[in-house]
Amino acid sequence: MDALKAEIANKRKALDGPPAAGRPTKYMRRGDIERLKEEQERKDKEEKEAKQREERERKEREEAEKATRRAKARRHSSSMSPRPDGLRDTASPEPSSQTSFNISNEEAVRRLRAKGQPICLFGESDKDRRLRLRALELIEEKEHERHGGQNDFKKALEDVESRVHKEEDVEKARKKEGKESRDNGTEILDLELVKTDPDKLYPIIYYALKRTLKEWEEWMDNRPESVKRTTQGKLAAATQRQSAEYLKPLFKLLRSRSLPPDMLLRVSEIVHYMQKRQYQKANDSYLRLSIGNAPWPIGVTMVGIHERSAREKISADQVAHVLNDEVSRKYIQSLKRLLTFSQTKYPPDDVTQLMG
């Protein structure tokens, strides 16, 4: 009986005591659950930091590789720079091409802007920009050679822009020259000389047109700097220089006294009425010179191999000389520009004599 009680007491003590180590339990305490959660969060955080650290290291390696490639490219570019004449390869490009290729980035940007081209394309490097600029310049050179430099207005405009930076020197040179008034030593052209002595008309016309052209040039130079630097001011100066070029063939004909009689008559009328400030009449003479007054579509003096009944009605003064050739058209048009300038500087007393 005592042995049975002792065994029961041992069993009860075993049940009331703490569980043995490693013994599975059906329930967990809240503290254990929170501890396990903290451990899991710490592991996740460590893994995330490790991934971020690896990503940073990978980016740093890529940046270092890019810097190394750029340094190699710069060393390669410097090794491609022009060598002395004695060491230059015979297969090297032309000096002008090599010089254009080795211009600075600022110069390349300036030239592209001057040509109205984008200064940088998507994904374009500095070397690609210089190559694109060189290609544009070669295309322009070939176009200029193909057309034979016929765009003289653009050339005149470029000359004007280059002269803007030298205005002070030009003004000093102008001051050394004496400025003559319009009527100083000017001989009014007499239209009777057309019938009596045409040879006397040539020097009068020559010096009258030269004097008006000179006054036009001085008028352009005496404008304020603010006007000269505007687009309209540059275009006006370019028009004056272009007209001076276009009038050279006419001056050559006047010096050689080889102007056709019908054209000599009309030019004499233009100069005569311009000197007397009768611009309306001068404009009428200009129209008869340029487009004629014949009823035909174009001014021809021979309509066939046989004489026609109306053949005597076609006279030389009805010919439209502006249709003859391009040179005549240019200096006849420049005569009208001189007439317009003269009216601007010396307006007539009678408003009815103004050109329309």
pLDDT in tens, the chain (356 residues): 678 888 888 877 766 655 544 455 567 788 888 888 899 999 999 999 999 999 988 888 888 888 888 887 777 666 655 444 444 444 444 444 444 467 888 888 888 888 888 888 888 888 888 888 888 888 877 776 665 545 666 667 667 666 665 665 655 555 544 443 344 445 688 888 888 888 888 999 999 999 999 999 999 988 898 888 898 988 988 999 999 999 999 999 999 988 888 888 989 999 999 988 889 999 998 988 887 655 544 444 555 555 555 555 555 555 555 556 788 888 888 999 999 999 988 888 888 878 76
Distances in whole angstroms, Cα of residue 214 to Cα of each of 60, 99, 102, 246: 71, 41, 44, 14
- Give the total residue count for the chain: 356
Number of helices and strands in the chain (H, E): 15, 0
Under 8 Å between Cβ of 343 and 279: yes
Taking Cα atoms as reference points, which of 72, 70, 69, 141 lies closest to residue 100?
A: 141
Taking Cα atoms as reference points, which of 78, 86, 82 lies closest to residue 98?
A: 82
Alpha-carbon torsion angle 71, 75, 80, 85, nearest 10: 150
Q: Which two tokens stand for residue 347?
A: 């307006």
| Sequence-separated (6 or more) residues with CB below 8 Å from residue 221 | 167, 170, 171, 174
Q: CA–CA separation, 332 vs 208, rounded Å?
A: 15
Q: What pTM, to 2 d.p., does this model score? A: 0.47
